[in-house]
Chains A and B, each alone.
Chain A
Amino acid sequence: MTKIVTDVVCPFCGTLCDDLEVKVSDDGTQILEVYNACVIGTEKFLHSQAKDRLKVPQMQDEEGNWKDVSIDDAVDYTAQMLCNAKKPLMYGWSSTNCEAQSTGNEIAEIVGAVVDNTATVCHGTTLIAVQDVGVPSCTLGEVKNRADRIVFWGCNPAHAHPRHMSRYSIFPRGFFTGKGHKARKMVVVDPRSTDTAKMADVHMQIEQGRDYELLSALRVAVRGAPLPETVAGIPRETIQDVAETLKSGRFVVIFFGMGVTQTLSKNHNIDMAISLTRDLNEYTKAAIMPMRGHYNVTGSGQVLGWQFGFPFCVDLSRGFARYNPGDSSSNDLLRRGEVDAVFVLGSDPGAHFPISSVKKIAQLPSVCVDPHHTPTSAVCKLHMPVAFVGVEEAGCAYRMDNVPIETRKVVEAPEGMVSDEEFLKMVLTRVKEIKGVA
């Protein structure tokens, strides 16, 4: 007999779908099938069942040979590395639960580390803009029930957040949106003709790197001021039409992704988009929301926020929290040679950072905590395999609209494997012993 676990939360993207059903074997050790999830979410669950999965920590010597070590050795190496460093970098945190993030932050405070999460190469610029001009946002429930003008700017939910449009933004019939997608106008701004763009009522195929100008032009159009003939390759009439479409809606939502946060102008793009949202609120209701990638990157920002006051790039080396992306951000620290040890958990900088940063990680004492063997493990001195959070371990995660959702444990982790939180607690105990902190 198999059993079905219901209301499972998907630990993949920031949409954090909470309606999954998972068929598990009778003894509760094996996942057989996953229902309701997108292909990526399904893979995340089925990946945990891989037969060749790493279960034992491994250390790499200078010649690149790996040897198995015990968990105690892994804990000791990690603790010694963090305690001996003058400025260790503790990076990642976005694919784990808030409990583990909080424990990690405690270690960082004791050892005087820099804590940074994946927002640093993703929506960190959004957070900078929010600090500059504030943010009028809402929850995804409000989007589903009220929004009738949807803008996707520099994002492609059809591929990156596959169930976003069906659960919240385009197709669902909500309380005041009984006609579903028929009553919604969809605007996509993207230099490429993506699968999302193909669905749009209006696709503004913008010149690359001119988002700041086009957002500004929309603000000018909303105010009814004159515009040049074309802006960012878009004719004036189209811009004025889109401004009119947005103003005439009952509830406008602008979703945006890394197409605007990590291209030319970065935080200024979001700054301008937030300002546009604010301007639209003079005429109708408008909100703006980042399409967060990792399922709990928002949670890392929340935990860092309530513990240290800053959402990412938190430098604790001087014993108090300092923050300045550009100075305390992972890539700048690595590129400039400002850190002397690297701890990675719940992310894969080896695959996503510039090669100049990855080379620096390879030269430093480094630890990678991840269920999988990743490109980051390949350059780290120690790889510590852990249980899958959200599959083999429960815990709190924050959805892209800052709603906390408790993820569920579906199956048992393989015998002897620890979770992120358990590993970090062991490191914390060892760090306290070394530092002589009570």
Chain B
Amino acid sequence: METVTLTPKAQPDLYIDAENITPDAFAGKTAAEIAAFHVHEGNQTGLLGTYFDVSGKAGATAAETKIVIKGDVLKVKYIGMRMTAGEILVEGSADMYIGAWMEGGRIHVRGNIDAFSGTGMKGGEIEVDGNAGNYLGAAYRGDWRGMQSGTIRVHGNAGSDIGTFMNGGTIIIDGDVDVHVGTHAEGGTIIVKGNGKSKIGGQMVKGEIYVFGTIDVMMPGYVYRKDVDLEVDGTKATFAMYEGDMGERHGKRKGEVIYGHIYQKY
């Protein structure tokens, strides 16, 4: 695997859109060609080389390309957008839309990420050592297809609205989350190892949410069914199983109604 290293040098006045920072765009390019890629600061079009020192070279395909960003990119949006393969390592914190609509490959951020990361994600893996913002793995506005596949793992806390309209894939948060987890979900798994707040699993049709800590207020549409022993992401424990959201429509399989599930650890 070949590595391209981007070292931030100039801070933009405003923010830059850099949807070209993906293994797919970099594949087969030299450092000089990559430095000539376009980035957008408001209505101005600039060059990637203006904001980053580019070194190394890309592999022949996306899968053989690794991008290392040395430092914080707090004013850079859309890193890894729509990437299908390869790897991105951000050694600092990044802004919004990390791995939005990504289809494959792996993104690892050592710091924090902001909102809308993993929007409409279709595959691949995002790992964040710090905290994540709001709308992690959610759907784009008006879309009924949020995260569909892949894995997002956040070692810190996450904001609100995670996994909205999720219908596949897995989100694991080691810390706490804000309100609205898995709203409108029609599949997929969300594991919160810290505490939840309220509005968890609202309007959920199908899917699983595991909460290891507390839930301030349970949605009224959830009914306690039974206790179950489970192994969740390496943790064996007894969970209280709730079914719902009773206010929402639900499909049937083999004559049985399929509900969404919230599992809360004792």
Contact = CB atoms under 8 A, between A and B. Distances in A.
Contacts of B246: 220, 223, 225-226
B184 interface: yes
Contact of B141 (A131, A318, A340): A131
B245 interface: yes
B203 A340 contact: no
A222 B203 CA distance: 15
Main secondary structure of the interface of B (DSSP, over half): loop
Nearest to B74: A336
A212 B184 CA distance: 13
A109 B14 CA distance: 19
Point out which of B134, B183, B246 has the most chain A C-beta atoms below 10 A from its C-beta: B246
Interface stretch (A61-69, A323-331, A382-390): A323-331
B42 A131 contact: no
B220 A231 contact: yes
A391 B193 CA distance: 59
Given A87-B43, A111-B43, A336 B15 contact: yes
A264 B245 CA distance: 20
A128 interface: yes
A327 B116 contact: yes
Given A220-B247, A268-B202, A340 B42 contact: yes
A279 B246 CA distance: 13
Given A87-B43, A216-B247, A324 B140 contact: yes
Interface in B170-198: 179-180, 183-184, 198
A377 B218 CA distance: 46
Nearest to A319: B43
B221 interface: yes
B43 A216 contact: no
Given A86-B44, A219-B247, A272 B202 contact: yes
Given A86-B44, A317-B43, A326-B135, A128 B141 contact: yes
B220 A337 contact: no
Nearest to B140: A324
A318 B40 CA distance: 8
B217 A213 contact: yes
A268 B180 contact: yes
B255 interface: no
A326 B203 contact: no
Contact of A216 (B41, B184, B245): B245
A87 B134 CA distance: 24
B240 interface: no
B115 A227 contact: no
B17 A318 contact: yes
A340 B13 CA distance: 9
B15 A338 contact: yes
Contacts of A271: 183-184, 203
Contact of A131 (B97, B116, B142, B220): B142
Q: Which of B141, B165, B183, B184 has most chain A Cβ within 10 Å?
A: B141
Nearest to B198: A213
B223 interface: yes
A217 interface: yes
A271 B13 CA distance: 37
Nearest to B45: A318
The 3 closest A-B pairs by CB, nearest first: A112-B43, A87-B42, A219-B247
11 contacts: A85-B42, A86-B42, A86-B44, A128-B142, A216-B202, A216-B220, A223-B247, A268-B180, A275-B203, A324-B116, A339-B14
